[in-house]
Structure 1
């Protein structure tokens, strides 16, 4: 006879992967016991027998690691939560009532129990694992009576080994070719596939064909001479029909040479030493040699043939060159694309770029000026970066300076914004007028802010104003009260028209509701207080005494039953019955009891 409850099993992952060396597999099983009847089913126990061994039909060989739990889909307020755990006597997992065990539990129609086995270390070997279930239950739509013999069911889950290769890797990714080290590639894969190695030039080398017998997960390796430079190898897995190969799976791994050798050259923006960090940078004109501080370095050679010479010191009347690099330059006129010097005393400099620690000149026309110190009558440049400058006139696209002393700063246009520097700090104006302007910044670090109101960037954002009583939070850029979001609020007094709590509200003191109270649970109204009564719309369950000082009245249909001190017990419009008991009347003192 089939069991009263219907069982289904789900696994995560849906198909269990058998464990292998270095590749443990952990899974979760969900056993769903559902009541498909309209009527409730009473159940005493549900036993789940999971074979625990290391064979192909065993689920796990490490049962103590498994975590069992149960989750009913629905519990009434007076229902107890069942338990699901390992039973040493039965050698199975048992679901039952909490202590004392053996008491019947109720599963309503359409509801279910979810029995979970988590953190299951899956054993080795591919195969079908049987899950045997024994259920002691009664009831249902047929109102079946209790019977001692349990109902039995069998379910199953499948364990598989990987069907594709994995873990393709090199034993060493960095090889010393000069020391004779070799490439050793390893991978894991099923024994029913053939394997090839594809070299960087596209040629393929056959490694091994598919094995015979049951499919197993095996480890493979292949070795060859180390390459001269970084090389990528491709593992190909598939089938082989005679001389015809059918490729199905591809994996790649890369190895590198400790000292790479290139047959056709290489490209790099710069090259730097490892221990001595000198650097050679490739420029559009050739190359630049720097020392470890990235300043101009020294080239040492037995012989050099150069088209351009840079000297440490030069005293020159006129110098015309594409580039001038020197520790000191003293010249009447320098015309160059680039001038780099520690010190330069020049009457006229015309250059695309000037970089110097000190520049002393009457006129300087350059696209870029970079100097620690400059004494110049006139500077015309797109960009000027100067630590200290004494300049009569500056015409530049960009000026970068350590210190600027000025009364005001304004944009180029006549109606641009302006900044003034009074003794109290900084004033910002807009439109070339004395009207207060706007300061935009990512962050502002201030000791204090005095403002009438604060608003988001958009005119429709919320805003805060500061009346004498405190602050007001408004929304949508208007006068409608807004919302404050906070993790906690510490208030002495809370005045509100409505309070909504989405989580849990805990009140340590008294709760006083002056205007009445409504209590709901999941949208269903439980009670409403009125000036002269409390209206209950839910079932009232009292597990202790209930005392009514003035009496109690119950109305049902056209009848009533009341118990009061003035009128005693009165039943109107109905019958008074006493079932399986005695109705007695006592009078006098001592009382004279008569049974009716």
Structure 2
């Protein structure tokens, strides 16, 4: 039985074994509390043997990164500036603790000190690890070398926590505006973001995708490389002025106006209470082109052929005027057949310029020959005249 009592505490408690294949390792610290629970004892050395390796009974696979420390003024119930030296024996897995003042140091009943092995990588296999302690002490019975063991446990590594808080820096963007997606998650997971038309392997907790042109849902897929377990997080970004390849609406579209795209003429259709207005890119009245129009009525100032030099028709209160291409002068109306209630005209002539013609006067009508005002001939099968 050792003259001093040894108790072990760990941080974290319990220690978590490192997970094989993970980028981040489990880091731990061991505190060894040395206490005198009996009579006064002088000690000259305390050696702590650490099991090194990656197995169930090992504490750490890398002894060289383990640092032994001692905190001043922790010796005994009263504050005393007592220092010790903690050094790893060269080429071994033993930490040796000795008094710095002289060859031995006195431990009275109730005295204690804390030795620390800190910031080391914990072995990857769960299980109990045992520290072996060898003490050299001196009391009224003489010098003694005694041994004891203190155990600690390494639990199985915890599952990598799922990522969280997948979010855009802006929930609404304009077309072409920069966007950044962020999330929080372990570096031991592999990350991929899936979006319409593509996928991207990402890391570092942020990614700036190409500017979306329409409302887009992004899916963050986080995969544990060891277990292949996957986590899914989604977020959606709205676009203030979306660009759509096509649009099918089965129940109608409610909108105050429709406009062409940036690369088009940007003509606009505005919906009013009585119908629709067509405007050009300058804001003035625009043009509508169609192969055929089926209308109940047309209200317009004039109608013209497709070419700029075609004839055109205006609609005064009296009826309509047919104009020539070179201005507002009246010109010819050509029809195959006309049924009219009343015809008001100065003359009626045949289709050829040298045909006879009829003029109308207050007393009746005159029939003229092909040229001039000479009287012409009336031909009829039968004539019934009152005079």
Q: What's the TM-score bracket when you normalise by the shorter of the two chains? A: 0.3 to 0.5
- TM-score of the two chains, using structure 2 as the length reference: 0.47
Q: Which has the higher strand share?
A: 1
